[in-house]
């Protein structure tokens, strides 16, 4: 059969059975004896048979595929999350389609259109949050979806699974304040992103609780490539601060790199804490204090919510899931000398 796609007819001819028997055996129908099913499955595998999922989806109305739309899978945070979603989906016999948006509104719209055109059963999306237009587009098309990692703070009925960003921002800032730092540079993400807004709320709450005012000069958005390097260099040269709270671990590592290149010592001169706890999954040479955002739990819960929406399309239940965040204390925030 070399060079030819194997069909049910080919297997039936080799086995000396009807096409219907072969088909039912491969679908694990109970009217076919277990021993016969095993023989047929083994023969199909030997011959290189691959079922036609498109034909099956036409009959069932489901493709058993889910689109996962994120800003950048090269970011370890999203890479880990996508892997966890894929692992959870596999247990339910679903396959995922991953599409990057690069935080671009037009690319996000194209990603959604592509996913819908591929007849995916649902979409898990970390929205770019340039507007709600793309989310409303999914609603109009009736495609089940759930937001992951971010939510729209204005009133709406979008389902989401996020981490407790406000608490995470509070814990990170309070940790730095508790070990003696009073001037903390916050390298935040773009303000259109809900997690950036909520982490800033936590940063501000920790300061207020400590009886300190937030210095606006110490709050910087670093959403574009190169922003972190330029900002850290400028701040070291022009402002007084002793600690950095970064919007995510990638920004924290970039800030750490700049400080080291400038001859600064970490944590003796500058303490640094990030967000996402990537170190729990990747062994990085210099351990970074971070806020754990429970990526695995968020991924599993987002998939569960989406499958519920796929399997019960008439269900009007709203899902507002907030996963807890915790402080993970490592070398990058130890050793500050208050003198």
- Structural domains in the chain, CATH included, are 8-51 (1.10.260), 64-163+295-323 (3.40.50.2300), 165-293+327-333 (3.40.50.2300)
Residue by residue, DSSP assigns 3-31 as TS---HHHHHHHHTS-HHHHHHHHTT-TT
CA torsion, points 176, 168, 217, 286, in degrees to nearest 10? Answer: 60
Q: Please check whether residue 127 is in contact with residue 159, taking contact to mean a CB–CB distance below 8 angstroms.
A: no
- The answer for residues whose C-beta is within 8 angstroms of residue 278's C-beta and 6 or more apart is 76, 77, 80, 249, 250, 284, 288, 290
> What was the pLDDT predicted at 247?
97
Alpha carbon of 78 to those of 83, 242, 315: distances in Å? 8, 30, 29
Partnered with residue 13 across adjacent β-strands are none
Q: Please check whether residue 118 is in contact with residue 68, taking contact to mean a CB–CB distance below 8 angstroms.
A: no
Q: Which two tokens stand for residue 295?
A: 């990526």
Q: Which long-range contacts (CB under 8 A, 24 or more apart) does 77-80 make?
A: 77/248, 77/249, 77/250, 77/276, 77/278, 77/293, 77/295, 78/126, 80/278, 80/281, 80/295
Q: What is the pLDDT along the chain (339 residues), one digit of tens a residue?
A: 345 778 888 899 999 999 999 989 988 888 999 999 999 999 988 888 877 655 555 455 578 999 999 999 989 999 999 999 999 999 999 999 999 999 999 999 999 999 999 999 999 999 999 999 999 999 999 999 999 999 999 878 899 999 999 999 999 999 999 999 999 999 999 999 999 999 999 999 999 999 999 999 999 999 776 789 999 999 999 999 999 999 999 999 999 999 999 999 999 999 999 999 999 888 888 889 999 988 889 999 999 999 999 998 877 889 999 999 999 999 999 854 333
> What was the pLDDT predicted at 106?
96
Residue by residue, DSSP assigns 194-242 as HHHHHHHHHHHHHHHHTT----GGGEEE--STTHHHHHHHHHHHH---S
Tell which residue, 220, 179, 181, has the closest CA to residue 200.
220
Alpha carbon of 177 to those of 166, 187, 196, 245: distances in Å? 16, 16, 20, 11
Burial class of residue 339 (count of CB atoms within 10 Å of its CB; 0-12, 13-18, 19+): exposed
Residue by residue, DSSP assigns 20-83 as HHHHHHHTT-TTS-HHHHHHHHHHHHHHT----HHHHHHHHS---EEEEEES-TTSHHHHHHHH
**Cis (ω within 30 of 0) for the bond into 2?**
no
Q: Which secondary structure element, helix H or strand E, spans residue 269, and what is its range?
A: none
Report the alpha-carbon distance of residue 71 to residue 219 in Å, rounded.
Answer: 23
Report the alpha-carbon distance of residue 187 to residue 16 in Å, rounded.
Answer: 69
Alpha carbon of 244 to those of 104, 123, 205, 261: distances in Å? 27, 35, 16, 16
């Amino acid at each position: 059969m070399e060079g030819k796609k194997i069909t049910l007819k080919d297997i039936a001819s080799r086995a000396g059975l009807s096409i219907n028997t072969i088909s039912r055996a491969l679908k694990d129908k109970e009217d076919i004896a277990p021993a016969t099913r095993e023989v047929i499955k083994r023969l199909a595998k030997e011959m290189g048979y691959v079922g036609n999922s498109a034909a099956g989806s036409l009959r069932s109305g489901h493709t058993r595929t889910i689109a996962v739309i994120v800003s950048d899978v090269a970011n370890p945070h999203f890479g880990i999350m996508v892997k966890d979603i894929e692992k959870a989906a596999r247990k339910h016999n679903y396959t995922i389609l991953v599409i990057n948006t690069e935080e671009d509104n037009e690319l996000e719209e194209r990603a959604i259109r592509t996913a819908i055109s591929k007849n995916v059963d649902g979409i898990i999306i970390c929205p770019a949050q340039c507007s709600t237009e793309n989310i409303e587009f999914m609603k109009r098309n009736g495609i089940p979806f759930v937001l992951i990692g971010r939510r729209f703070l204005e009133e709406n009925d979008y389902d989401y699974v996020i981490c407790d960003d406000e608490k995470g921002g509070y814990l990170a800032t309070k940790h730095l304040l508790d070990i003696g730092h009073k001037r903390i540079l916050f390298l935040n993400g773009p303000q259109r992103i809900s997690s950036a807004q909520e982490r800033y709320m936590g940063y501000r709450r920790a300061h207020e609780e400590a009886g300190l005012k937030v210095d606006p000069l110490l709050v910087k958005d670093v959403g574009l490539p190169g922003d972190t390097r330029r900002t850290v260099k400028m701040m070291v040269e022009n402002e007084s601060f002793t600690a950095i709270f970064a919007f995510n671990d990638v920004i924290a590592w970039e800030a750490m790199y700049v400080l080291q290149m400038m001859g600064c010592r970490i944590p003796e001169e500058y303490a640094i804490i990030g967000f996402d706890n990537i170190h729990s999954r990747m062994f990085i040479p210099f351990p970074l204090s971070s806020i754990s955002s429970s990526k695995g739990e968020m991924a599993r819960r987002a998939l569960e919510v989406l499958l519920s929406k796929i399997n019960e399309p008439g269900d009007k239940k709203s899902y507002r899931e907030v996963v807890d965040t915790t402080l993970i204390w490592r070398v990058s925030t130890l050793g500050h000398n208050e003198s």
